[in-house]
Structure 1
Amino acid sequence: MGKTSNRQVRRIIVSGYYGFNNSGDEAVLKSILNALHAEGEAHGITIEPVVLSADPAWTTKMYGVEAVPRMSPSVLLREIRRCDGLISGGGSLLQDATGWKTIPYYTGVLSLAQMLGKPTFIYSQGVGPVNRGWLFAPIRRVMNKSKYISVRDAESAALLGRIGVAQERVEIVPDPVMGLPLPAGADEVSTKPPSGDALPVVGVSLRHWRKDGADLERAASALAALAKRRAVRFRFLPFHMPDDAATSQIVIDKMRMLGLGESSAELASPGDDPQQMLLEVSRCDMMFGMRLHALIYAANQRVPLIGLSYDPKINQFLNRLGLTPIGTTEQLDPVQFAASADSLLSDLEGWRTRHGEAIDRLKRESQRPAQQIAALLSQTMKR
C-alpha cells in the first residue's frame, strides 16, 4: 500500500463484461469508475482500479485506467495477489440465459480472490435468470463470502434469498448508469433538438433476439404505424457494435418498404464512448428501447421512454419508474404502439413531471455501492 498526494491507495480489481464494445456495459464501467473516484476522495483514499477486459489496450485508452486480460489465469492470479480487493459488477453477470459458462467464470474470479484472502464486493448486479440448478451453489458460496452485496432490483435479491443468501446482507440499488453524467461541457449548451418546425426525434434501440426475426418485423410495423400517424425523425442508436447497427439497418429497410410518409429514419454513429451515446440519447424527444441501457440512458436524461421487453430485467427497470412494457419480442400491437407513442410525444413535459421524482431517487441511490465500498476500504486502513 503506497501513498499518492498524501492519500493511501487501494488497488481494486473490477470484474465485468468489459472490452466487448457494448455501450451499455461500457457505461456501467464508466459509471463505476466515476463513482469510485468521487467516493474515494470523499473518504480520504485513492482507489486505483484495475479492469479485467477483453481488450485491455482499448479500455486503458478509453478510461485512463490500468486494464489486463480477463481470460488469462496467470494474469488473474498475479493481479489478485497484488490487489486490496475485487469488485464484481455491474450488469447481468450471474445468469445462464446467454450460456452456462458465464456464471462459472464470474464466480470463479470471485472465488480466486476469496481464496487469496481479498475482500470482494458485489456492485449493483442483476442476478438471474438461472435455469440450471447446479449453478446455485457457486453463486451462494461467493455471495456469502463477499464483504458487500448490492443488486439492481428486488427480483435479484429475492432469487439470492431463495438460494440461501441472507436477505439482510443484500442491498437493492439502481443500475450504476443512472449516475452517469454527460461528457464535459455538454451540459453547458442545450442538448435537446431545436423547437419550432423540426420533427420530434424518436430514438430507437433494438437488438437481434428471435432467430426468425419476427420480433424485428413487429418492431418495423409498429414504427411504420407511428410514422403514418405523425411525422417524426427516427434515430437508431446501436448500443452493441456491429450487431445492433446491422439489426437497425434491417428494421429501417423494412420500415421504408412499409412506407414512412413524411417521416425519416437514420442510423447514428456515436462511437465507442458511452458518454457520447448518453449525449445522443439526451438529444431525443422520446426513446423506444429494447436494450436495457438505452432505457436507463433515457431515464438518466429524463427522455420519455417506451420499453419493449425481451428479458425480465426490462420489466424490472420499467417497474421502478412506474411503467410497463408496450409489448414483448413475442407480441407487439402496431396500432397500440403508435397511439401510445403519439400520446407521449404530445405530452413530454407531463411524462417528466409524473416520473421525475422516481428518476431523481434512482440517480441519488446509484452512488450507494461506491459509498459503501469506499467506507469499508477506509475503515480497513484505520485498523
Structure 2
Amino acid sequence: MVAATTKTLVLSGYYGFRNSGDEAVLKSILLALEEEGLTSGVDIKPVVLSIDPEWTRRTYGVEAVHRMKIGEVRKAIKNSDGLISGGGSLLQDATGIKSIPYYLGVIKMAQWMGKPTFVYAQGIGPVKRKLFRPLIAAVFRRCDYISVRDAESASLLRSMGLRGGDVQVVPDPVMGLILPESGSGADSPAARASDESERVSAVTEGQTGGASADSSGAALPIVGVSVRFWNPQRTELSQLAEGLSLLCRRKSVHIRFLPFHFPGDDEASRFVMDRLGNVTERGCAVSIAPETEHPQDMLREVSECSLLIGMRLHSLIYAASQNVPLLGVSYDPKIDQFLGRIGSVPVGTAEELDPRILAAEGERLLQEGDVWRKGRASQIAGLKREARVPARRIVEFLRSKG
C-alpha cells in the first residue's frame, strides 16, 4: 500500500470567536477535507488561524495559531502547502473597514511566498467602498481556485473584472455538516445528559417554563427560534414576540430559543422572551439553549425541532440540512439568497414583519411539515452533495502537485 501524501493547509476565516455559524463553517470544511483526503490518498493537516488558538485546538483537535500575531501567521503559511480563505462573509465592509484588508492581506502573504491559495465558498459583499474592489480583483486573479456560496457573489466578482469561468458557485459548506455518530464527540452520552439537564432547568427558569407535553401526554412540537439584534429600535424582535404569542394561541408548542452567538444572541433571545406574555398559561413551554462548545451540539438542537424560525443564516442552513421546515426573517441579502436556493422566500424582514403572517405560516408548517420536506428533498440533497465540491477540487489540486 502506498503511503498517503501529507499536505498542510492553513485555514483563514472568522474562527475562534465561538459564533456557532462560523464555527460550523470551520467544522464543515475540516470534515470535507478529511473525507476527500481519505478518498484521494492525501493526508490533510489543517492549521487554523484563530482568535483563540487554545480553544480551537481543544474543540477540533487541530493545530491553530493566533490570527492577529503576524509572525505566527507568516510561519504557519511558510511551512504549509497552501492557504484556504473562507468560508463565511469575510470580504465585506458592512460591519467595518478592517475585514477586507485583513483577509486579503492573509491571502496576499501566502501568494508572496509562492503558496497556492483557495477561496472556499465565500459570500462576497457588500463592498460599498470602491477602493476595495480593485484590491479584491487583483488578489483573486492570483488564486488557484475560487468558489462562492451564491450567484450574487459571483456576479459581484464579475463586476470587478473576474471572468465567470474562474468562479464556481457552490452551497454554503454547512450544508454538508452531519450529526456526529452516537457515543462520540459532541454527541456523547455525557454531553446529551448534560444538555438535557440544562434544558430542564432552562424550561423551569423564572417566567419561562410551562408544560412540556400536551393534555394527552405527547411531547410538544419544538419551535426553534434564532434571533439577533439588528434594528436599534428592536421593532422586528417585538413583532416576532407578538407572532410567537399568536402562534401559541393557535397551537401548544415548546418555543426553544437557540443563541448562535454569545452574548449578543442570548440577550436578543431574552428580549423576545420577556415580551411573549402569558404563553405558558396557554399550554406552551419556553426555554433557551445554553452556550455550546461545538457546532454539532447546535446542529443536534436544530434537528430536534419541528419548525425553525431564524434570523441567523446558519440557523436556516442547519434546519435545511436536517430537513426541518423553516421560516426566515431577512436582515441581509444573504438570507434571501439562501432561501431562494431551496425554493423559499422570507416570512418577513427586519424592517417589516407581520406577526399574523408569522403565526399563520408557523401553524401551517407545523401541520404540513411532510409536504415541506417532500417538496424540497431533491434540492436539499443536491446542495449537500455540492457542498463537498470545493474540498474535492482543492485536494485534487494538491495531489496533482505531488
Instruction: Report the TM-score when normalising by structure 2.
Output: 0.90
What SS does the corresponding residue of 1:269 show, helix, strand or coil? coil
What is the letter of the counterpart of residue 56 of structure 1?
A: P
What letter is aligned with 1:371? Answer: R
- Equivalent residue in structure 2 for 1:66, among 33, 39, 63: 63
The 8 Å contact of residues 228 and 260 in structure 1, kept in 2 or not, is answered as: no
> How many pairs does the alignment contain?
374
Name the aligned partner's letter for residue 178 of structure 1: M
Residue 196 of structure 1: CA displacement? 6.8
Counterpart Cα distance in 2 of 1:235 and 1:92: 27
Report if the CA contact (8 A) 1:227-1:260 is conserved.
no
Give the counterpart letter for 1:367 in structure 2. Answer: R
Distance 1:28 1:243 in 2: 20
1:184 CA displacement: 1.7
Corresponding residue SS for 2:275: helix
Q: CA deviation at 1:259?
A: 7.6
Matched, 1:183 2:180: yes
Please tell me whether residue 108 in structure 1 is matched to residue 129 in structure 2: no
For 1:263 and 1:99, locate their aligned partners in 2 and report how far apart those are by CA, in whole Å: 41
Q: Partners of 2:352 and 2:280 in 1: how far apart?
A: 22
Query: Tell me, what secondary structure is at the counterpart of 2:119?
Result: strand
C-alpha displacement at 1:41, in angstroms?
A: 1.3
CA distance in 2, matches of 1:257, 1:97: 38
Describe how 1:1-383 pairs up with structure 2 within 5 A: 6-185=3-182, 197-256=218-277, 261-269=282-290, 271-381=292-402
* Preserved contact between residue 221 and residue 258 of structure 1 (Cα < 8 Å): no
Which whole-Å CA distance do the structure 2 matches of 1:196 and 1:362 have between them?
38
Equivalent pairs: percent with the same residue? 51
Indicate conservation of the 8 Å contact 2:248/2:279, yes or no. Answer: no
Q: Which amino acid aligns with 1:10?
A: K
Q: SS at 2:87's partner residue? A: strand
Farther off after superposition, 299-308 or 178-187: 178-187
TM-score if structure 1 supplies the norm length? 0.94
SS of 2:75 mapped into structure 1 = helix
The CA distance in 1 between the partners of 2:330 and 2:119, in whole Å, is 26
Q: Deviations over 1:213-235 (max 9, x none)?
A: 12211111111111122111100
Distance apart, 1:260 and its partner CA: 6.2
Q: How far apart are residue 282 of structure 1 and its match? A: 0.4
- 8 Å Cα contact 1:13-1:86 kept in structure 2: yes
Change (3 A) 1:286 1:41: same
Which moves more between the two structures, 53-62 or 259-268? 259-268
| Structure 2 unaligned residues grouped into runs of 5+ | 190-211
> C-alpha displacement at 1:261, in angstroms?
2.4
AA aligned to 2:344 is: L
CA RMSD, Structure 1 to Structure 2 (Å)? 1.9
User: 8 Å contact 1:270–1:276 — kept in the other structure?
Assistant: no
Deviations 1:310-363 (A, max 9, x none): 100000000000000000000000111111111111111111000111000000
Q: Structure 1: which 5+ runs fail to align?
A: none
Mapped to 2, the partners of 1:138 and 1:257 lie a distance apart of: 54
Deviation at 1:270, TM superposition (A): 5.3
How far the C-alpha of 1:70 sits from its partner, in A, is: 0.2
The letter for the 2-side match of 1:213 is R
Residue aligned with 2:292, SS: coil
Aligned equivalents of 1:260, 1:327: Cα separation in 2: 28
Q: Is the 8 A contact 1:270 1:280 kept in 2?
A: no
